[in-house]
Amino acid sequence: MPQPPFSSSPKIDVLISEVGPRDGLQSIATTMPTMNKMRWLDALAAAGLREIEVASFVPAKLMPQMADAAEVTKHACTLPGVTVMALVPNLRGANAALQAGAQKLTLPVSASTAHSLANVRRTREQMIDDVRSISQLRQDIAPSARIEAGISTAFGCTLQGVVNEDDVIRTAVLCANAGADEVGLSDTVGYANPAQVRRLFRRLRMELGPRAGAAHMHNTRGLGLANCLAAYEEGVTTFDSSQGGLGGCPFAPGASGNVVTEDLVFMFEAMGVSTGIDIALLREARAALQAGLPGEPLYGMVHEAGLPKGFIQSMDFLSKEA
């Protein structure tokens, strides 16, 4: 069970990892101003998010939305109790992220060769070599930082089609052997279904034990929450999501729509599964997001419908901090 990174917080049952500031913002044409990004991060932290993927360290000419990655990362590191995560596609990006203070690096290692070449212009085998090199770099300059390998297109690929499940698990094991502290599975293109999610995460946990990592689900075909629940029932306790459902994959045609953070938090809290996140403050953070992206469509059933009459979130975690 994940523990919050600071001792004054209570135990939680699941860790919600907010990926909107990276996955969401790099997937839209509009570039959010740096100050608005910082205000949004402040609001997310105030709501109780304990892990936030804040940026992607890639060349600005390729992804101008992430040109301020170092500045945003440095600001995020001032937020108490937040694990600051950054996506890095290669050794150069990893070095820049660690120099900026990132506490956790996530590497996209695709189980689909076609997607890997489109996404990072490297083969799966080359990316596994990069995991090894980045693990060594981490040991040299920031040994306390953690490395996560996210197995992209684990449930299918719009470019390749079916992705062999044995290839997915083999890739995950190779990443762990290369130095990844945790390895998660990503439904990059929104193909997954609950039976498939249970099957693959069961196999992943059998192979990697506690190093089996997050479930990164998309809601492209309306199964995002169902797939998260299926993963939870297999023992997964870390879930990626994006406020307002921002995000997708620019190198996977038709892959839109991350799981909405507000809806995911509500589902777990309604079940009595503690996230440590204040839903009311989370909804306020949405206003900070919208202020930085005026006119950009946001999604979410809880935002549209509101909370059920009589719904009272347990606020034990707030009373313990008071």
Cα 239 to Cα 23, 57, 211, 308, distances in angstroms:
14, 22, 14, 24
Pair of tokens at residue 51? 């892990």
CA distance 293 to 20: 12
* Mean pLDDT of the 72-83 span: 98
Residue 249: per-residue pLDDT: 53
pLDDT tens per residue, range 34-69: 999 999 999 999 999 999 999 999 999 999 999 999
SS3 content of the chain, % helix, strand, coil (to 5): 45, 15, 40
Residue 158: per-residue pLDDT: 86
* Mean pLDDT of the 79-84 span: 98
Residue 6: per-residue pLDDT: 38
Q: Mind listing the domains of the chain with CATH numbers?
A: 15-321 (3.20.20.70)
The string of DSSP letters for 236-253 reads: --EEEEBGGG--B-TTST
The H-or-E segment that residue 266 falls in is helix 261-270
- Highest mean pLDDT among 64-68, 122-126, 217-221, 296-300 belongs to 64-68
pTM (two decimals):
0.92
Cβ–Cβ < 8 Å for 182, 151: no
Residue 1: per-residue pLDDT: 38
* Mean pLDDT of the 150-175 span: 94
Q: Which residues does the annotation mark as catalytic?
A: 249
With left for phi above 0 and alpha for psi between -120 and 50, is residue 81 left, alpha or beta? Answer: left
Q: Is the pLDDT of residue 5 over 70?
A: no
